[in-house]
């Protein structure tokens, strides 16, 4: 190529600094934040520089309503290639009959799946939000609860696990048109075969919201829902480590319905830079190294949950099989809200979270949720996760309203800085002018 401009216009912080110093400072400040602390939000990860390069490319400029070879605009030859490559990778990686990479987010993917499978007013059975579900699983403040007749299933109070007999009873009683499994704060494996059998018994569609765990599926660390579900919705930015966005996998017979539900029913032009970045992430996820990563994510989450349990902080359901643990803080006497704030002062980022049958409102919450996607990307393994558990346990108990608590949080922040210095986020030197 004789081109005098680079084939893609990658992230150029010097350019950003001179054009918009204010936003440049925000971008660099966020990089500093990532590097200075521990990122334990279970729905986040640290994308590769290759994913960032695709995201920061000129593909952001292109309007491409439609699908490869069937666009409403000219000039789509290059983006057609990006999307076709990404779709092939998605189908091959997950063994799916059909894929769609255009949903802007996990919630958008779920909206499209509803649009493809059910009509407004029809009955949907999904996990209750306070028990680990998602807003799009029937919450009254969301389209799913407003436009559909949503029935929720809880987890059992004694085991904090899904009770498949109870789900079957609810399905028999309510005869939903759509059953959804998948969650944002359920640390255990989900029995997709059981859900398939329940859906078949009541003649319902089965949608799996795999937003949280699709990366573990990609890496072979947990069983795949693809053979059991009619439609699998996912995000691409959690353990899968791609750009922020959504993805749908489905059986071939649902291909046309799903594609039409994404565009033109619920979305307009796709974000082609994001689609290309999803393709990059899918290539990365197909490598053997990603399988090792996914397995380590689970080992790290188990180590973290065990370490917190030893420190007197009870993991909901007794532990985890996945990338996340939900921790009940009632015995410690600290709310999830206060724990989140204390940890933040110690440079540990995590989120407050409702636990099943939580007596507190969601903005207070009795628990915290921790996930190991980011720290595993940074190269941490079991020895470091034991240290992380100790640091969290100390931070949660340190009251910043006291002199001793403030001193303790400062000391923990120092220990965090030392730990992450050995396992930096985005380790390549970045020496951009400020």
Footprint on this chain of ligand DSN (rule: CB under 6 A): 43, 106, 134, 184
Among 238, 241, 369, 394, the active-site one is 238
The answer to whether the beta carbons of residues 69 and 80 sit under 8 Å apart is yes
Half-sphere exposure of 327 (CA within 13 A, CB side): 36
d(CA 79, CA 68): 8
Q: Which is nearer to ligand DSN, 66 or 133 (CB)?
A: 133
Among 35, 58, 60, 63, the active-site one is 63
Q: 352 catalytic, yes or no?
A: no
Q: Which is nearer to ligand DSN, 185 or 262 (CB)?
A: 185
Q: 235 catalytic, yes or no?
A: yes
The answer to whether the beta carbons of residues 259 and 233 sit under 8 Å apart is no
Q: Which is nearer to ligand DSN, 154 or 246 (CB)?
A: 246
Q: 357 catalytic, yes or no?
A: no
Q: 340 catalytic, yes or no?
A: no
Q: How far is the CB of 44 from ligand DSN (least distance, A)?
A: 8
d(CA 328, CA 335): 9
Q: How far is the CB of 420 from ligand DSN (least distance, A)?
A: 22
For residue 92, give every residue at least 6 positions away whose Cβ sits within 8 Å of its Cβ, in sequence order, or none.
286
Among 80, 83, 128, 209, the active-site one is 209
Q: How far is the CB of 109 from ligand DSN (least distance, A)?
A: 11
Q: Are strands 123-127 and 38-39 parallel, antiparallel or unpaired?
A: unpaired
Q: 65 catalytic, yes or no?
A: yes
Dihedral sign from CA coordinates of 87, 93, 98, 102: negative
d(CA 329, CA 307): 14
Q: How far is the CB of 234 from ligand DSN (least distance, A)?
A: 11
Among 35, 58, 60, 65, the active-site one is 65
Find the residue with minimal CB distance to ligand DSN: 43
Q: How far is the CB of 185 from ligand DSN (least distance, A)?
A: 7
Main-chain dihedrals φ then ψ at residue 179, nearest 5 degrees: -115, 135
The answer to whether the beta carbons of residues 107 and 136 sit under 8 Å apart is yes
d(CA 383, CA 296): 12
d(CA 211, CA 234): 4
Q: Which is nearer to ligand DSN, 183 or 280 (CB)?
A: 183
Q: Which is nearer to ligand DSN, 244 or 302 (CB)?
A: 244
Q: 63 catalytic, yes or no?
A: yes
Q: Which residues are catalytic?
A: 63, 65, 209, 235, 238, 244
């Amino acid at each position: 190529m004789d081109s005098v401009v680079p084939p893609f216009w990658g992230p150029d912080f010097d350019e950003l600094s001179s054009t918009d110093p204010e936003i440049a400072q925000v971008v660099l400040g966020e990089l500093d934040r990532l590097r200075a602390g521990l990122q334990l939000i279970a729905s986040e990860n640290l994308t590769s520089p290759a994913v960032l390069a695709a995201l920061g490319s000129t593909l952001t400029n292109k309007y491409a309503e439609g699908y490869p070879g069937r666009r409403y605009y000219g000039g789509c030859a290059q983006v057609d290639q990006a999307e076709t490559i990404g779709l092939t990778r998605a189908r091959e990686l997950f063994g799916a009959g059909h894929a769609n990479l255009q949903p802007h987010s996990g919630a958008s993917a779920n909206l499209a799946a509803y649009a493809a499978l059910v009509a407004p007013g029809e009955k949907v059975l999904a996990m209750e939000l306070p028990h680990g579900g998602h807003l799009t699983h029937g919450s009254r403040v969301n389209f799913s609860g407003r436009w559909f007749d949503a029935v929720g299933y809880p987890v059992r109070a004694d085991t904090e696990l899904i009770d498949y007999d109870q789900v079957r009873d609810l399905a028999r009683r309510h005869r939903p048109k759509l059953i959804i499994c998948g969650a944002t704060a359920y640390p255990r494996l989900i029995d997709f075969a059981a859900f398939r059998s329940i859906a078949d018994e009541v003649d319902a569609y089965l949608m799996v919201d795999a937003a949280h765990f699709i990366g573990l599926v990609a890496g072979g660390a947990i069983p795949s829902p693809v053979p059991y579900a009619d439609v699998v919705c996912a995000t691409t930015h959690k353990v899968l480590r791609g750009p922020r966005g959504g993805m749908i996998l489905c059986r071939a017979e649902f291909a046309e319905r799903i594609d039409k539900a994404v565009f033109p029913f619920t979305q307009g032009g796709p974000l082609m830079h994001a689609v290309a970045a999803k393709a990059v992430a899918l290539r990365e996820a197909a490598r053997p190294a990603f399988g090792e990563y996914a397995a380590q994510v689970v080992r790290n989450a188990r180590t973290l949950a065990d370490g917190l349990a030893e420190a007197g902080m009870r993991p909901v359901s007794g532990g985890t099989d996945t990338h996340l643990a939900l921790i009940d803080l009632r015995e410690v006497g600290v709310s999830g809200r206060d724990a989140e704030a204390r940890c933040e002062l110690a440079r540990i980022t995590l989120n407050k979270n409702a636990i099943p049958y939580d007596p507190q409102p969601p903005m207070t919450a009795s628990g915290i949720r921790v996930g190991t996607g980011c720290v595993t990307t940074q190269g941490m393994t079991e020895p470091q996760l034991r240290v992380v558990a100790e640091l969290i346990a100390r931070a949660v108990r340190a009251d910043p309203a006291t002199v001793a608590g403030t001193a303790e949080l400062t000391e923990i922040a120092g220990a965090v800085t030392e730990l992450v210095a050995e396992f930096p986020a985005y380790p390549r030197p970045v020496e951009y002018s400020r």
